[in-house]
Amino acid sequence: MANTSQTRATEGTQVPSRPQSNATVDYATLGGVVGAFLIIITAMILGGSPGSFFNLPAILIVIGGTFLVTTISFTFDEVSRSQKTMLRAALYQAETPGNAALQVLFLADQARRNSILSLQKHLKDIQNSGFLHRATEMLVDGIAPEQLEAVLEQQLIATQNRHQRSANILRRAGEVAPAMGLIGTLVGLVQMLSNLEDPSTIGPSMAVALLTTFYGAILSNMIFHPLAAKLERISQTEAIVNQIYTIGICSVCKQENPRRLEIMLNTILSPDQRVNYFD
């Protein structure tokens, strides 16, 4: 049964707009990260000495070491871009597959009623949807169906590869952070054992030893691994959305019946996302 919220767009209306939540913060991600840190900070405060959990040498070893070691497996540019993907996981402008299906069905209906060239006036309505906008531009430019399908499939694969590479970088950083914490622990222990005759050095050395492990565990289990998992989920959803765009635009290019397109798209969509555009 189609979701009752997925209704037909009337003739002459704009392309179904992207969800209003696109420009908003993903509260599931932010709430989880902020909430987890608040719990830890609260425990520090209740312990009575939150300042003892700050140690600059430990921070340099874990954060600086994690960044530099991760660049060994990748490049500086890739690691820098992965920092943007961390923000993307929290502020991702989600597009639902159901709404993507409505968009391409509207375009298919308009092309069937008027012409493919008539879709040019709708380009401004989908300019925020990069993949669909580029696909529609190529469609209006009159590219051959076989070439259009090949180009869109290549773009789809390239997009998935970029997302997976970013997730891999975050996962690699999640593996390196605890290792850097262990290295920092060894550094602190060596410093402590080499200066046992001076009791004043035991405390700072032990702080480095313990806090590097603490920082490494936090970075790995509260930031890098959760964000990598979130990016992979986002990538899977975006892959479905782009697949819908590819099928829809190629169907319009081949001048197929939009009702047939609706049936094809509903085989991809989950039951709660299926559309009922023409009935």
DSSP collapsed to 3 states, 180-246? HHHHHHHHHHHHHHCCCCCHHHHHHHHHHHHHHHHHHHHHHHHHHHHHHHHHHHHHHHHHHHHHHHH
| pTM for the predicted model, two decimal places | 0.77
Domain membership of residue 262 (yes or no) is: yes
Q: Using the 8-state DSSP alphabet, how is residue 60 labeled? A: I
Q: Specify if 161 maps to a domain.
A: yes
> pLDDT (tens digit, 9 = 90+) per residue, 254-263?
988 889 999 8
Task: Give residue-wise pLDDT tens across range 222-272.
Answer: 989 998 888 888 888 888 999 999 999 999 999 888 899 998 999 888 888
DSSP 26: -
Q: Are 82 and 66 in contact (CB under 8 A)?
A: no
pLDDT at 208 over 60: yes
User: Which carries the bigger pLDDT value, residue 30 or residue 13?
Assistant: 30
For residue 165, being part of any structural domain is answered with yes
Give a yes or no: residue 11 inside a domain: no
Range of the domain at 192: 57-268
Which pLDDT does position 25 carry in this prediction? 65
DSSP 3-state of 13? coil
Domains in the chain: how many in total? 1
pLDDT tens per residue across span 44-75: 888 777 778 888 888 999 999 999 999 998 88
Residue 124 lies in a domain: yes
* DSSP labels, 71-92: HHHS-HHHHHHHHHHHHHHHH-
Nearest Cα neighbor of 100 from 270, 255, 229 is 270
Percent of the chain with pLDDT over 90: 22
Is 235 part of a structural domain of the chain? yes
Q: Answer whether residue 76 is part of any domain.
A: yes
CA-nearest of 77, 236, 88, 73 to 168 is 73
What average pLDDT does the chain have? 82
Lowest-pLDDT choice from 83-87, 96-100, 121-125, 159-163: 83-87
Q: State the CB neighbour count (10 A cutoff) for residue 192.
A: 18
Tell me, what's the pLDDT at 217?
94
Q: How far apart are CA 177 and CA 183, in angstroms?
A: 10
* Residue 90 domain-assigned (yes or no): yes
pLDDT at 10 over 80: no
CA angle in degrees (0–180, nearest 5) for 101-104-109: 120
